[in-house]
């Protein structure tokens, strides 16, 4: 599939928007429609910002980036997973150290253990159970 559907585009933009609101001190002041229908000159800025976020979390992989554990409903919680309050540490690291989004290997050093970007494919799915 070469092009993304409108629903997929909106979902991805919503993830970025929610991440910015929760972890980057509400730095995204645009609506989903603003981002989706922006002029091409503005879209390139969005793409650079998103590419930089993904580069930090998928390529550099700071120590606090961990895979999200998706539990089926009714499953027991994972007991070995540390519960570290990352919100302030992540904001401090990202905003203080990489506010200009350096593209070289220099920049923020991360020390907390937590995952910030939810996988788009890990959202809860409705499971139909066939009983026979």
Q: How many domains does the chain have?
A: 1
- Burial of 35 per CB tally in 10 Å (0-12, 13-18, 19+): buried
pLDDT per residue as tens digits for the range 44-80? 988 898 899 889 888 888 887 777 777 777 766 655 5
* Separation in Å, CA 68 to CA 54, 96, 116, 131: 15, 25, 9, 30
Q: 2-16, 33-47, 71-85: which range is least confident on average?
A: 71-85
Can you tell me the mean pLDDT for 76-104? Answer: 49
Supply the angle between the helices 6-23 and 40-54 in degrees, to the nearest 10: 60
Q: Residue 104's pLDDT band (boundaries 50, 70, 90)?
A: very low
- The pTM of the full predicted model, rounded to 2 decimals, is 0.41
132: in domain: no
Residue 11 has pLDDT above 90, yes or no: yes
Asked whether the beta carbons of 109 and 93 are under 8 A apart, the reply is yes
Rg of the chain, C-alpha, whole Å = 17
Range of the domain at 60: 6-68+83-116
Residue 49 lies in a domain: yes
Q: Is the pLDDT of residue 40 over 50?
A: yes
For residue 107, the model assigns a pLDDT of 42
Residue 18 lies in a domain: yes
- The answer to the question of residue 122 being in a domain is no
Q: In terms of Cα–Cα distance, which of 65, 53, 46, 47 is closest to 94?
A: 53
60 — phi, psi (to 5°)?
A: -70, -40
């Amino acid at each position: 599939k070469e092009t993304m559907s409108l629903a997929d585009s909106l979902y991805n933009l919503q993830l970025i928007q929610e991440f910015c609101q929760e972890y980057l001190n509400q730095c995204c002041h645009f609506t989903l429609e603003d981002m989706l229908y922006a002029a091409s000159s503005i879209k390139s800025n969005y793409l650079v910002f998103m590419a930089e976020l993904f580069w930090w979390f998928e390529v550099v992989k700071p120590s606090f980036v961990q895979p999200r554990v998706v539990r089926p409903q009714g499953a027991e919680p994972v007991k070995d997973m540390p519960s570290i309050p990352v919100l302030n540490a992540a904001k401090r690291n990202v905003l203080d150290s990489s506010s200009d989004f350096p593209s070289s290997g220099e920049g923020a050093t991360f020390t907390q253990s937590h995952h910030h970007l939810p996988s788009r494919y890990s959202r809860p799915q409705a499971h139909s159970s066939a009983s026979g």
